């Protein structure tokens, strides 16, 4: 490795000696685990990859594809974390531009589907290493002297990913629902397709992230034409994914990492464009909230992936109606209860918790404007979780969020009804009473800036208390004390 790293940097591009050196690297990768090479020769391997990247960009013969195969093998290994870290701190970043040039050249020419997919593997790895901005940049291709638009690689990667998503999901659906033959071969086919889907889904999700951050990071901006092309490509891709989910729903399939990944991708896109695919989402929302990963005993991650979309959706009456009619509000409440349970055991995910809280609060605030479900049990279970969440915290944002949700739930119940509930103890009601009392105690003349930042929630609690205090003597007494 030391010899190759030293010698390859002096060899002419495309020379016979360079070809032999690349074959030696290929042989070593076949014989040895990349983990072993990484551990002992990380710096040498990063130098070699940078040299191979140059061949990938500049050559227009069979060696270009040898370089592609090598880069794909190295980047798709399970031992690449250390290598990625080494690349991020390399002083010369030309290697990343060279790989972008090579990927663009492969994707815009007529090459075998397997080699196009290898180019997508390399692109996905580069975005993981360098960030989404790597997809946009000046491209220099051999024998082409006219300037190439900086968005060319982005559009090529998106279009190739869109095609792969369509082909792979069609093949997966056929293998799962229609193919005949030995179960072992079918299972192997499904696993292979699912692994490929993971890569293209990751690329599409990163393009969504890039588009959502336009003008906010890395100085990347697009003209209207590029933006329109990207949105069109994303809409078509998400449409295909929704069709795949529809197919799974019709076949009664709710469990599978491919289905969970599909929900995640849809959630990522609709968080940015909640009005997209409205009719299809209306049909599929309840199903998507019921999807489980292979290792889940009940839906959880699917709900977490959809929370940003649900939070925006419930800002409008139509969204609340859909959440009620689909039963989706139950899934959000169950998800919040699980998140609170994880939080108690040291797994903090306040981002998801507050998204779930905002969604539930939007739903409760508008309850008089749609057919609100008569489902006290769901909301009583939520009250128990909120009591546990807030009992030992002084975080004002947590206290105000929880108390405002409680205040809205108390609108359609009473202390007597809570105490008659078999699973809601007297001590739980005491905790809820202390919660409301602590929230209202923050109201006063000498409010801190933190309290002022929670004024909208404080107003919800105060207004709620004035409506239902006579039905909750225990809370009224706690407030007076």
Boundaries of domain holding 27:
1-148
At residue 37, the pLDDT reads: 72
- 402 lies in some domain: yes
Tens digits of per-residue pLDDT, 59-74? 889 999 999 999 998 8
pLDDT at 259: 95
Residue 83, pLDDT score: 78
User: Taking residues 15-20, what's their average pLDDT?
Assistant: 94
CB 55 within 8 A of CB 19: no
In a domain, 79, yes or no: yes
Residue 319: inside a domain: no
221 band by pLDDT with thresholds 50, 70 and 90: low
Tally of domains within the chain = 2
Instruction: Examine residue 135 and state whether it is found in any structural domain, yes or no.
Output: yes
Per-position b or e across 61-99, b if 16+ CB within 10 A of its CB: eebbbbbbebbbbbbbbeebeebeebbeeeeeeebbbbb
Domain boundary among 148, 182, 202: 148
Note the pLDDT of residue 346: 60
What pLDDT digit, counting tens, does each position of 103-157 carry?
A: 999 999 889 999 999 999 999 999 999 999 999 887 776 666 666 778 889 999 9
169/327 Cα distance (integer angstroms): 28
- The DSSP code sequence of 215-278 is TTSTT----HHHHHHHHHHHHHHHHHHHHHHHHHHHTT--B-HHHHHHHHHHHHHHHH-TTTTH
**Residue that terminates a domain, selected from 94, 126, 148:** 148
- Please check whether residue 441 is in contact with residue 466, taking contact to mean a CB–CB distance below 8 angstroms: no
The answer as to whether 153 is a domain residue is no
Dihedrals phi, psi of 148, to nearest 5 degrees: -105, 130
Is the residue at 391 inside a domain? yes
Domain contains 328: no
- Cα angle 86, 90, 95 (rounded to 5 degrees) comes to 105
Q: Would you place residue 459 in the very low, low, confident or very high pLDDT band (cuts 50, 70, 90)? A: very high
Dist. CA 140–CA 272, nearest whole Å: 32
Percentage of the chain surpassing pLDDT 70? 91
In this prediction, residue 181 has a pLDDT band, given cuts at 50, 70 and 90, of low
314-354 pLDDT per residue, tens: 999 999 999 999 999 999 999 999 999 887 666 666 789 99
**Which 3 state secondary structure label does DSSP give 139?**
strand
- C-alpha 9/C-alpha 116 separation (Å) is 28
pLDDT range class, residue 393, cuts 50, 70, 90: confident
Task: Kindly tell me if the per-residue pLDDT of 423 is higher than 90.
Answer: no
Percentage of the chain with pLDDT > 90?
Answer: 62
Of 240, 242, 212, nearest to 227 by C-alpha is 212
Beta-carbon contacts of residue 220 (< 8 Å; ≥ 6 apart):
133, 136, 210, 214
As a whole number of angstroms, the distance between CA 66 and CA 159 comes to 24
419 CB-near residues (< 8 Å, 6+ apart): 426, 429
Which of 84, 118, 148 finishes a domain? 148
Rounded Cα gap, residues 417 and 435, in angstroms? 19
> What was the pLDDT predicted at 445?
46
CB neighbours (10 Å) of residue 179? 13
Selection from 29-43, 246-260, 333-347 with the highest mean pLDDT: 246-260
* Structure confidence at residue 183 (pLDDT): 66
In a domain? residue 57 = yes
């Amino acid at each position: 490795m030391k010899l190759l790293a030293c010698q390859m940097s002096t060899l002419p591009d495309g020379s016979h000696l360079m070809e032999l050196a690349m074959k030696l690297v290929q042989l070593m990768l076949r014989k040895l685990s990349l983990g072993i090479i990484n551990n002992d020769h990380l710096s040498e391997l990063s130098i070699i990859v940078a040299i191979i990247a140059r061949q990938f960009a500049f050559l227009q013969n069979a060696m270009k594809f040898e370089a592609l195969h090598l880069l794909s093998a190295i980047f798709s290994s399970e031992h690449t974390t250390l290598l990625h870290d080494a690349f991020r701190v390399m002083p010369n970043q030309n290697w990343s531009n060279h790989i972008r040039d090579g990927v663009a050249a492969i994707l815009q020419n007529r090459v075998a589907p397997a080699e196009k997919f290898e180019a997508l593997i390399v692109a996905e790895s580069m975005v993981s290493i360098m960030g989404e901005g790597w997809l946009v940049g000046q491209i220099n291709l051999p024998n082409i002297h006219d300037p190439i638009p900086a968005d060319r690689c982005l559009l090529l990667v998106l279009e190739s990913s869109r095609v792969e998503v369509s082909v792979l999901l069609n093949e997966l659906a056929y293998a799962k629902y229609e193919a005949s033959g030995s179960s072992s071969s079918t299972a192997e086919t499904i696993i292979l397709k699912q692994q490929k889907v993971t890569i293209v889904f990751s690329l599409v999700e990163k393009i969504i992230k890039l588009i959502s951050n336009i003008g906010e990071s890395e100085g990347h901006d697009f003209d209207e034409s590029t933006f329109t092309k990207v949105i069109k490509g994303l809409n078509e891709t998400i449409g295909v994914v929704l069709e795949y989910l529809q197919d799974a729903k019709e076949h009664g399939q709710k469990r599978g990492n491919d289905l969970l990944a599909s929900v995640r991708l849809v959630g990522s896109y609709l968080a940015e464009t909640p009005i997209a695919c409205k009719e299809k989402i209306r049909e599929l929302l309840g199903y998507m909230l019921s999807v489980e990963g292979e290792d889940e005993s009940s839906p959880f991650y699917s709900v977490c992936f959809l929370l940003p979309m649900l939070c925006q959706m419930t800002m409008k009456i139509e969204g609340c109606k859909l959440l009620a009619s689909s039963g989706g509000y139950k899934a959000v409440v169950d998800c919040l209860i699980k998140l609170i349970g994880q939080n108690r055991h040291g797994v903090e995910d306040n981002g998801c918790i507050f998204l779930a809280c905002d969604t539930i609060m939007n739903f409760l605030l508008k309850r008089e404007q749609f057919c609100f479900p008569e489902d006290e049990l769901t909301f009583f279970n939520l009250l128990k979780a909120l009591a546990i969440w807030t009992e030992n915290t002084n975080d004002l944002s947590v206290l105000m969020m929880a108390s405002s949700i409680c205040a809205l739930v108390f609108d359609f119940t009473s202390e007597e009804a809570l105490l008659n509930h078999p699973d809601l103890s007297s001590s739980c009601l005491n905790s809820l009473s202390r919660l409301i009392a602590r929230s209202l105690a923050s109201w006063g003349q000498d409010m801190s800036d933190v309290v002022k930042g929670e004024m909208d929630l404080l107003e919800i609690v105060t207004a709620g208390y004035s409506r239902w205090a006579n039905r909750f003597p225990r809370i009224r007494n706690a407030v007076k004390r």
